[in-house]
Structure 1
């Protein structure tokens, strides 16, 4: 009995959605932004940052919902384990946005635009822009 509960718990936990901070950036080529001017890079940085903030909140909410479903399934009602959704398109979108932020920052550094994304404890990145 204990072994089957342990196996069920491991299976459910493996399917839980990741916190946004645990999702690594997908590679996005800096060449995508090479033709952008500094002003265009600033605009794109603001746009990508806004989308990343929204995606981070949605991913963290999904992770919280999965954690609740996992707790309910392990303690009260095992069929609730089927409510655990895990990572999906939302996590992939967040990884892509993080990659875009990295690429924009690299091009900004190379062009001396002064755009750096401010990393916070929860990886919500917002661009810090200096006119120079």
Structure 2
């Protein structure tokens, strides 16, 4: 019975780990929010979002990697260290929002026939 409790406890702690950027889905944003933008403004907004996504994605991926390492060490050597796991949910929410905004801008560019192909926001680092 004790082994089952340990397994469930360990699984619960791991569920609180930081999420890698590639595993964070985009939140929906309407392209109508960018209806008043011209093609130049849409491109500038895309670049701003890409810069922030790269910065935030690196932090999230590093936190996820560190949590996995800490979980392995904590499970074997020092189980109270498992309580230090957990990502920054605010950063994860911001990342999902940025991905959604990028998708909306891309749709607005297509609707306006801007002719600028903008690669999707990278979900891997």
- What is the match of residue 76 of structure 1? 77
2:7 aligned with 1:6, yes or no?
yes
CA–CA separation in structure 2 for the residues paired with 1:84 and 1:44: 34
SS at match of 1:58: helix
In the TM superposition, what is the alpha-carbon distance from 1:4 to its structure 2 partner?
2.3
SS at match of 2:18: coil
- What is the match of residue 115 of structure 2? 114
When structure 1 is superposed on structure 2, of 25-34 and 101-110 the one drifting more is 25-34
Q: Which runs of 5+ in 2 are unaligned?
A: none
SS at match of 2:118: strand
Q: Which runs of 5+ in 1 are unaligned?
A: 125-132
Using structure 2 for the length normalisation, give the TM-score: 0.90
> Larger % of strand: which?
1
- What is the match of residue 123 of structure 1? 123
CA–CA separation in structure 1 for the residues paired with 2:81 and 2:15: 15
2:40 aligned with 1:39, yes or no?
yes
CA–CA separation in structure 2 for the residues paired with 1:87 and 1:116: 32
CA–CA separation in structure 2 for the residues paired with 1:50 and 1:73: 34
CA–CA separation in structure 2 for the residues paired with 1:12 and 1:117: 39
CA–CA separation in structure 2 for the residues paired with 1:54 and 1:86: 16
Aligned length: 124
SS at match of 1:46: helix
- What is the match of residue 64 of structure 2? 63
In the TM superposition, what is the alpha-carbon distance from 1:87 to its structure 2 partner?
4.6
CA–CA separation in structure 1 for the residues paired with 2:18 and 2:4: 24
> Larger % of helix: which?
2
| Alpha-carbon contact 2:60-2:87 (below 8 Å) kept | no
Using structure 1 for the length normalisation, give the TM-score: 0.86
